[in-house]
Amino acid sequence: MKLINVISLGLLTFFLFAVTARLQSQEKAFVRLEYTKLPTNDWTGYWNEIQTKWKPLYQDMITKGDLKAWKLFWVRFPAGTEIPYDIVSVTFHKDSVGLANAAVSKFYESNKKAGESPFVEMEKPLLDIINRVKVETYEVLEQARGTFELDSLARTNQNYQIDFMDSSRSNAEDYVKMEREVFLPMHQVAMNDGRLKSWTLCRRLSQDGNAVLQRFIILNQWSSWANWQSAGGLQDFQQVDPEIDQKAFNEIFNKIGRLRQMTKSEMWSIWDEL
């Protein structure tokens, strides 16, 4: 009887662990991207503002559960091409409520100490240095990470390829389905052998409801610049399905090309993060 109870307890524990892992994988996540131009070229001043005021604020929010993570990127590519922003500050949220900048302001105001300046005054020195080009908000639809044990260099290499996609409203769901069912398993091959560290598909929320096109972004985190665009070849697809030949491979890209258009691809590197 004791043995049966132990086995039953073990099975129950395994079941609960599996359910918990599944629920965690289905947790919603949201992303806020703030695109910034530094017309003054005052990189030192910007860095000091971020380090002395904003990073501690984000750390406090993370500690208290109001924010999941924060990453500060500088845009590296396309090289030689004039783009309207130099820096992208990305905050990761557990719900859509936290996406508004007002949530950061509210948190600051409710946690400020006696004698501290209001949020608007805290923000003013930063706005004297930067131009806030635009803000976009996204919902994370799918994400995956590699299982390969990366070497120390790859673990610290923070290189992201950001792909911007547009799909018609009528094709958007089919596009997401194809990314999940066809491309994610292929990318998992590259993640498992260490070329790719993570892959995240997001759908934009902050756009006109009457817009004809739906914007998506994909964040590809490469283990090194040398591996950029190394995933997605016929051999990777054949690792998932050995029956895929060159004809089927070509049709995969023809089909996804009909479902979405890649408008641009940029390279971002992490400058700081929490």
Complete domains list, the chain, with CATH: 30-135 (3.30.70.100), 141-273 (3.30.70.100)
Asked if residue 186 lies in contact with residue 241, where contact means CB atoms within 8 angstroms, the answer is no
The structure's pTM equals 0.77
Q: Give me the half-sphere count of Cα atoms (radius 13 Å) on the Cβ side of residue 30.
A: 16
* Both structure tokens of 42: 């005052």
Kindly give the confidence (pLDDT) of every residue in the chain, 274 residues in length, as a single tens digit, with 9 standing for 90 and above: 443 443 344 434 433 343 333 334 456 789 899 999 988 889 999 999 899 888 988 898 888 888 888 999 988 876 556 678 989 999 988 876 556 554 555 555 555 554 555 566 777 888 888 888 888 889 999 888 766 555 544 455 678 889 999 999 899 999 999 999 988 988 888 888 888 888 999 999 866 666 778 999 999 888 777 666 667 788 888 888 889 899 988 998 999 999 999 888 888 988 898 8
**What was the pLDDT predicted at 22?**
37
pLDDT for the residue numbered 78: 64
Q: Give the C-alpha separation, 172 to 237, whole Å.
A: 23
What pLDDT is recorded for position 205? Answer: 87
What per-residue confidence (pLDDT) applies to 223?
A: 78
- pLDDT at res. 247: 92
d(CA 49, CA 41): 14
Burial class (CB in 10 A: 0-12, 13-18, 19+), 105: middle
Pairing of strands 69-77, 261-273: antiparallel
